[in-house]
Amino acid sequence: MYSNVYQGEFVNIRALIKKKEFERAYNLLQKISDKCSEWYYLTGLSAMNIGYYDEGEEYMKTATTMEPSNEEYSHAFNQYNQYRNDYNQNSYNYNRRKRNEPSGCCCCCGDDCCDTLCQLWCADQCCECCGGDLITCC
């Protein structure tokens, strides 16, 4: 599975990851020079969990490529890809209504709410033009 030289360190790093000490694990991994598939997998896992998503994805991909029969690696990589695809789909759909509605309403709580909010905003603007203020926070 991985180099005997670093076997003990990888066990310790897995323990850190299990305890959600991702940054410590990542920093320890950076000190290892023998970059086997286990190194790529653990580095990718820790990198993703501290927000280095692109770097983490590349490391996970490399680990999976180096050991395609390793179910742990391929499962984690596929799970990340599914999460990323779901995120991309959700972000695409976010405010989709705004892009598709001629009124440009971006409210997701229903037409009545949008109409009421737009009417209040317009009334506030008209009131302010005449020196008044219908809604003080706007």
- pLDDT value for 89: 73
- pLDDT value for 87: 72
Model pTM score: 0.63
50-75: pLDDT as tens digits? 999 899 999 999 999 999 999 999 99
Rounded to an integer, what is the distance from CA 69 to the centroid of its chain? Answer: 27
Q: DSSP characters for 87-104?
A: HHHHHHHTTHHHHH-TT-
For the chain, list the domains and their CATH numbers.
7-93 (1.25.40.10)
Which of 138, 114, 134 is CA-nearest to residue 123? 134
Cα→Cα distances 94→80, 85, 89, 116, 130, Å: 21, 14, 9, 21, 37
CB-CB contact of 2 with 10 (8 Å): yes
d(CA 48, CA 32): 18
Question: Which burial class, exposed, middle or buried, applies to 3 when counting CB atoms under 10 A from its CB (0-12, 13-18, 19+)?
Answer: middle
Alpha helices (H) along 22-110: 22-30, 37-49, 53-66, 71-93, 96-100
110-128: pLDDT as tens digits? 445 556 666 666 676 766 6
